Amino acid sequence: MKYLPLGDTEDIAASCHFLEIDGTGLVFDVGTDPRREGSASLPKFDWVRDRAHSYVDHAVVTHAHHDHMGAVPVLVEEFPHAMVHMTEATKKLLEFLLPASARLQQKKREQGETEHEPLFTEDDLEFLSHVYLTHDLGADFDLTGMAGNTEVTGRLYSAGHILGSAGVELAFEENGEARRLFYTSDTNMQAQSIIPGGEYPASTDILMLETTLGADEEAEQTSRPEEVEKFRTTLRRVIERGGTALIPVFVMGRAQEMLAMLGRLKREGDIPVDTPIYTAGSMLGVADLYDKTRETTPRLDPDFRVFDVEQERVPYSAEAKKDILDGPGIMVVSSGMMFEPTLSNILARRIVENERDAVLIVGHAVEGTPAHRLQQAAAEGPGAPVRLADGQVQPVHCTVERFRFSGHSHRRDLLQIVERMDPDTVVLVHGEPEAQAWMQAAIEDRHPETEVHRPRWGETLEL
């Protein structure tokens, strides 16, 4: 089996992994990098032909975060015969989120915010529905390519990450022997507010393992109940002093989990019921999809509806934004990394100098992002400078706290996956170098018989 990473292997963006199995070419995930624009944000699709001397018959999209699915239209344009597999919930999300992405790209081009042409248009997306194939969790489906010499079968397992997320198992024969490969994608063994923990096969031969939190020592030392209590206490203080709590989130997944938690805190009396919760952008549409699929996807409580948590829209005008920032209030807005010029970045610049306000970071912040820079500045002490936007440095006086509500498993849980599945080979993906290095050393120490790979971007491996 040939493996070629098409996305940067020392990062957590533009996830895309190419495999060739005895004549069948397939990719796991087809993401874009939100920090880059135009063709620079895409996986290296040309490497499939130029380096692997192959093609793509099938793609499996594990979930609807843009760093895992944002380049699907481009892949289908490059390989017109490719079929794209996913859960039904992920399909519904793609059909909602990709048109929104097309409109945003066009808007940025028209307003002069970028010189790059859109990667795809809404018209391009009209032709994609016939290549989407959906599958139930635990059901086998065919992934054999047109020129495949052996049958390749896929199966999806709930990943516990966001709505519709799945890990992928492949079953095939190689040199007359039955083999299995499991790709975790973004995975979480522990239950969140809405989504239960992930499920996994009993064993595998090759494990492609995400490593997002591999370098986060504190994540393994904290429990979710402890983090909820810490969050509860901090939020109550901010509201009591009349402040605004800004919660930067990914519009898909983290936003809905945090709204569920805020609804619970209101019901339990930790924050006043009349405290306004503001959301914006696509969150209402995604909440609708969460609610409509609540009885057909894994849930802790199928009766819970995101829309049961009362929400107000962040107003469009600058003056109206200023009014609601007077507080008390809670702003749940994107992006989670606080990239410029997203709403979380704009609002953070308005409150970062105010002592009564707070920025509550509830997920993983990649090094170099505005969210990560804000955490670093806050750790230096009151008044430390931070650059949230180009050419603008501000002193940090607001409360800044990090809470580990990530949709990813911490590194000890990832090691449990290795222990449970007992693979012969582990391929470490979707993580920064420090995270992958820790995971490699830990796996090799506990399982010296296991072969561990940290593939280089563009390097072809024989597995």
- Specify the fold of 223-402: Rossmann fold (3.40.50)
pLDDT tens figures, 358-399 = 999 998 788 889 999 999 999 999 999 999 998 789 999 999
The pLDDT assigned to 35 comes to 82
- Two structure tokens written together for 345: 């970045």
Render pLDDT for 328-369 as a digit per residue (tens, 0 to 9).
999 999 989 999 889 999 999 999 999 999 999 998 788 889
- CA dist list (Å): 277 to 244, 350, 356, 359, 451: 10, 18, 17, 14, 49
Residue of 278, 358, 283 whose CA lies nearest to 315: 278
pLDDT digits (tens, 9 = 90+) for 193-250: 999 999 999 999 999 999 999 998 988 888 889 999 999 999 999 999 999 999 999 8
The DSSP secondary structure of 227-248, one letter per residue, reads: HHHHHHHHHHHHHHTT-EEEEE
The predicted pLDDT at position 299 comes to 97
Average of pLDDT values for 433-453? 97
State residue 395's pLDDT score.
97
Among residues 170, 161, 246, 148, which one has the least CA distance to residue 199? 161
pLDDT at residue 320 is higher than 80 = no
- What average pLDDT does the structure give for the chain? 94
Structure tokens at 100: 């929104």
Residue 422 — very low, low, confident or very high, per pLDDT cuts 50/70/90? very high
Question: 174: which residues sit within 8 A by CB, 6+ positions away?
Answer: 1, 21, 22, 150
**Between 295 and 113, where is the model more confident?**
295
Tens-place pLDDT, residues 80-94: 999 999 999 999 999
pLDDT reported for residue 181 = 98
Helix 254-267 / helix 224-240 crossing angle, nearest 10 deg: 70
* Among 152, 145, 133, CA closest to 87: 133
Q: Which of 207, 273, 267 is nearest to 414 (CA)?
A: 207
Segment 255-278, tens digit of pLDDT: 999 999 999 999 999 999 999 999
Evaluate if residue 280 carries a pLDDT over 80: yes
Of 55, 430, 434, the C-alpha closest to 216 is 434
Q: What is the pLDDT of residue 315?
A: 85
Output the pLDDT for position 127: 83
Token pair 């390749």 is found at: 152
**Rounded Cα gap, residues 366 and 64, in angstroms:** 19
Peptide bond between residue 201 and the one before it cis (omega within 30 degrees of 0): no
Amino acid 460: pLDDT = 94
- Where do the structural domains in the chain lie, given as residue ranges? 2-216+407-462, 223-402
What integer pLDDT is reported at residue 391 of this predicted model? 79
- CATH second-level architecture of 2-216+407-462? 4-Layer Sandwich (3.60)
Report pLDDT for 188: 96
At residue 57, the pLDDT reads: 98
Which residue has better confidence, 210 or 315?
A: 210
Looking at residue 324, its pLDDT comes to 81
Mean pLDDT on 89-113: 92
User: Residue 440: is its pLDDT beyond 80?
Assistant: yes
pTM beyond 0.75: the answer is: yes
pLDDT per position as a tens digit, 197-209:
999 999 999 999 9
Q: What is the pLDDT of residue 222?
A: 85
pLDDT of residue 326: 85
| Confidence tier at 138 by pLDDT (50, 70, 90) | very high
Is residue 115 packed enough to be buried (19+ CB in 10 Å), middle (13-18) or exposed (0-12)?
Answer: exposed
